[in-house]
Amino acid sequence: MTKRCNRCECHKSHSEFLINPRTDDGLYKLCKKCIAWLQRKRGPRRKYQTRITSIDECPPLPQEDGLRIIHCVGLPGIAADSNGEIWSCRNRGWTPVVWRKLSRRATNADGYVTSMFAVGTGSDIKSIKFATLVCEAFHGARPDGMQVCHTDGTRTHDWPSNLYWGTPIQNSQDRIRHGRNHGVDPELVNTAKLTWETALWIRSQQGLTNRHDLALQFGVTPSTIAAVWYNRTWKTA
């Protein structure tokens, strides 16, 4: 019995075809010679790219008008720019090692933009704030006992001119100045997007509505909705 090869269009015996149990006749559509030719044409398979361990292994930083990009301290393959964005050239499986911006969608329970990063040469994964990476890149390594402070009080505004290293006391004074300290009626905070009426209604929807839908409805983050649900903010007891 013979079979026609889809590439060379020659009729050959079944012994000239490799076995493929997923086809109707149990054979590949191409003959052995044509498969070998395709494999030579494609070349050798790419090797899996290992983790970047030094800045020297990184490609050149992107060049954009009016944008300054600096390597992050202690994280080879991670960089921060003057707009508060974080870049990465760490590989993702088979993708080429090129610089790309990381998403700013993930925020922690306190409202800071964060992302997961591999730290060191082992398998340790750590959640790090974008603000910390930007501040270290543009203002130097964190001094002992210092915290990242936002000048305007908005935790997602991570550009370098809005960040500085401050003491815990300075950070507390910033919270008071921006109306974020505990004990203040949250409805009196000038940046509040919720009221007591809406906060109590949101709390009543726990388990009934998705927090992401509520966040879109009221123009806040899902973590803000979760904080209201679990009585971490807009506390009633």
Question: Tens digits of per-residue pLDDT, 155-193?
Answer: 889 999 999 999 877 877 777 677 665 555 666 666 788
Closest among 29, 50, 49, 30 to 41, alpha carbons compared: 30
pTM of the full structure: 0.55
Share of the chain above pLDDT 70, in %: 86
pLDDT above 90: residue 79: yes
Residue positions counted in the chain: 237
- The predicted structure's pLDDT at residue 180: 64
What average pLDDT does the chain have?
83
**DSSP state letter for 9:** -
Alpha carbons 135 and 162: distance in angstroms, whole number: 9
Return the CATH architecture of domain 55-177.
Alpha-Beta Complex (3.90)
pLDDT above 60: residue 50: no
36 Cβ neighbours under 8 A, 6+ residues apart:
none
pLDDT band at 43 (very low <50, low <70, confident <90, very high): low
Task: Tell me the domain boundaries of the chain.
Answer: 2-42, 55-177, 186-229
Contact criterion met (CB below 8 Å) for 134 and 128 = no
